[in-house]
Amino acid sequence: MKLHNTINGEELKEKIKSSAEPRTTISFYKYAKIGNPQVFRDHIYLHFSTIGVLGRIYVAGEGINAQISVPSEHLEAFKNHLNDITFLENVRLNFAVEDDGKSFFKLAIKVKNKIVADGLEKDIFDITSPADYLNVEDFNKLTENPDTIIVDMRNHYESEVGHFEGAWCPDVDTFREQLPVVVEELQDKKDKPVVMYCTGGIRCEKASAYMKYNGFENVYHLEGGIIKYSRDAKEQGLPNKFIGKNFVFDERLHERITDDVIAQCHQCGEAFDDHVNCKNKACNLLFIQCPACAEKYTNCCSEECQSIAALPEEEQRALRKGKDNGVRIFSKGRFKQNVTRQGW
């Protein structure tokens, strides 16, 4: 059996879109020492593919990070397999707040240097010794303290569409950029409570351990992140202090937490909070575009991309050849710079 996907991605996507099979979107992570990440990766690929698991999983010597979709009829079998893995027994599973079952269309399990890229030297601090967890009730109580500093450990394009009330949202593109920024900015505030949060907990757990390593003793992080907080607040009838949307890294892109729209269309400035990718595949810019601008620019981020997207596919492929865009995201001052650098 081949331990990787061999079917065209577009074909898989259409298959999932047309499928009526109930699926459950889940995320989980665990920091733990994995002696041979490649062997572990092949082991879980074999088992997960057998029961139809789809999604993206990273495995490294420091642990596992998974965002997946499981056929609902096989959910118990999936849980049982996790429990058979010693360090994943009773691991916390975050169930999506909004779930149409179309979050992923293929299974990709990759071995990485780290499950969360942090730009730091390996093993300089103990990632298995994070700060104390906060549940929804404790989080709400602590963040009522005016001295408490709430730090959003996500990227700017995530916090742009939703964040906790009163949170500091650093204007960064990546987690590796954010760690030194947060430590430096809070150096003179070590006497104040610091509460960190992210989407599902994995980034703020590592960040809180790094903060402890840098001498912060009064630091906490939100257990299970925004996903668990939102579900627990609703189930327990507690106030939800998150406003807007929770950005997620799958086909859904967002989960609506509240009806508040706190972002604007990047092209006209109208209140709107749906991210899209530029139709020009050579650009693929992630940005916010309202319906009026989508019509005006034919789902592109600029007139330049609009003209390229209108070309025959063969010409577009020729223009893309040899170009590597990486992850391109919109931010004031960075948008024009990115376009210029690419030559469009």
278 tagged catalytic: no
Q: How far apart are CA 201 and CA 19, in angstroms?
A: 31
CA atoms lying within 13 Å on the CB side of residue 196: 30
Q: Which of 169, 198, 300, 301 is catalytic?
A: 198
What positions carry a catalytic annotation? 198
